[in-house]
Amino acid sequence: MIQSMYSKLNISKEVFDFCNGISEELSQRFTEIDLVAEYNQLKVIYSMQQNKVSDTHFAATTGYGYNDLGRDTLEEVYASVFNAEAALVRPQIISGTHALTVALFGNLRPGDELLSPIGKPYDTLEGVIGIRPTKGSLMEYGISYNQVELLPNGEIDYDHIKKAISPKTKLVTIQRSKGYAIRLTLSVEQIGELITFIKKINHRTICMVDNCYGEFVQKIEPSDVGADLVVGSLIKNIGGGLAPIGGYIVGKNDYVENAANRLTAPGLGKEVGATLGLNQVFFQGLFLAPQVVASALKGAIFTASVFERLGYKAFPNATEDRYDIVQAVNMESPEGVIAFCQGIQEAAPVDSFVKPIPWDMPGYDAPVIMAAGAFIQGSSIELSADAPMKPPYTVFCQGGLTWHHAKLGTMKALQQLVNQKIIQL
């Protein structure tokens, strides 16, 4: 019966058999993922119960948003989930980049230095920092920037980090996920070691973690291992696919307050900011997030397993431990990249009839192809894939609100490669 459904979705018998065999082999791995999801689900429920979440918290506020009980309770819940003192969780934070920007501008002052100890941060931060000259960057406000590269073997260069930390170093930014770079994603444990090392050199250095793509992948978060600030987007993991906008900043009281004063206005801070009826989906998205992240992880492991079996290289590989939800696959040719992305698009619940093609996107040095059929525009906790059209022709694939949708996405990608005679099963 199930094969006839796949057949209606244009999955051939060969692709079905090939993929089903592989998904059956993954049951042990999936059990481990479910155990992490179970732990995180309980953590979220416990935090909601401790803070007495109630349906009165779902009421909409407008205007200034004074006394928004739902917003304040949501922030208490986030603080509790992250084992942090305070949280700022707002629809006025429009993306992950914006959340990071607010945290940085709120906590850095002219003359301070920002340090990235693990190489270049996420692309969009180049403009924020001023690595790429940009109007309004930290650089323009007299905040300098320093960067320590990873060692050639990909490990953290502790010797150089020690040398790079000076009395000027006010804040260290640590990116958990590799994002779209070719390096390893850091585990929370590795982040903890790095923070301990930095604090030993200067205990007043603020350690901030860009947590994008990392939430609920492990049982602990960076704030459990000493991070002073943890920052992310609600249209990635922690919004559970329901949050239609938003970002969060959690951590020490003072640092979160500095960020709040920057997001709204000095003196107003967390006291204002209407939530316009979004609290309910923020709570509900957080509630679903552990399960959604588990689905995305299963999808990523399945993708790696299928394409490795066909001889392609996957990063991380099919058996490695995972610390974020991003899966890269080296498709080896432009045709391979396009077919993969077209397959992902065909599996989507929204815009499945659209054919993605590469285009010259501003800010990129090669044409880019993107596949996403999402309920929330740009959401990357929903199944999506993108790739720059240049060697080594690597596709980055992430998300999947349900495991079965993520599975269909990979099967469709494979079906496209078969249909276009790029591979033979």
Ligand X SMILES: *Cc1c(COP(=O)(O)O)cnc(C)c1O
CA gap 273, 293 in Å, rounded:
29
Which position among 12, 20, 83, 124 is part of the footprint of ligand X (CB under 6 A)? 124
How open is the CA angle 169-149-191, to the nearest 5 degrees?
A: 70
Site stretch for ligand X (CB under 6 A), options 92-100, 259-267, 271-279, 412-420: 92-100
Which position among 78, 105, 145, 213 is part of the footprint of ligand X (CB under 6 A)? 213
In whole angstroms, the minimum distance from the beta carbon of 413 to ligand X comes to 21
Nearest position to ligand X, beta carbon = 96
251 binds ligand X, rule: CB under 6 A: no
Residue found under tokens 């590269």: 149
Closer Cβ to ligand X, 122 or 340, answer by number: 122
CA gap 139, 217 in Å, rounded:
34
Closer Cβ to ligand X, 122 or 312, answer by number: 122
C-beta of residue 216 within 8 angstroms of C-beta of residue 237: yes
CA gap 160, 40 in Å, rounded:
36
Closer Cβ to ligand X, 95 or 394, answer by number: 95
Subset of 70-89 contacting ligand X (CB under 6 A): none
What angle, 0 to 180 degrees and rounded to 10, lies between the N-to-C axes of helices 403-419 and 279-309?
A: 40
Which position among 101, 169, 185, 233 is part of the footprint of ligand X (CB under 6 A)? 233
In whole angstroms, the minimum distance from the beta carbon of 243 to ligand X comes to 12
**Bond into 349 cis (ω within 30):** no
Coil, helix or strand for 250?
A: strand
177 binds ligand X, rule: CB under 6 A: yes
Count of residues that interact with ligand X, criterion CB under 6 A: 12
188 binds ligand X, rule: CB under 6 A: no
175 binds ligand X, rule: CB under 6 A: yes
Sheet of 368-372, strand order: 313-315, 327-330, 394-398, 384-388, 368-372
Closer Cβ to ligand X, 107 or 233, answer by number: 233
* Residue 252 vs residues 71, 247, 392: alpha-carbon distances, Å: 18, 17, 42
Closer Cβ to ligand X, 179 or 290, answer by number: 179
* List of residues contacting ligand X (CB under 6 A): 95-97, 122, 124, 175, 177, 179, 210, 212-213, 233
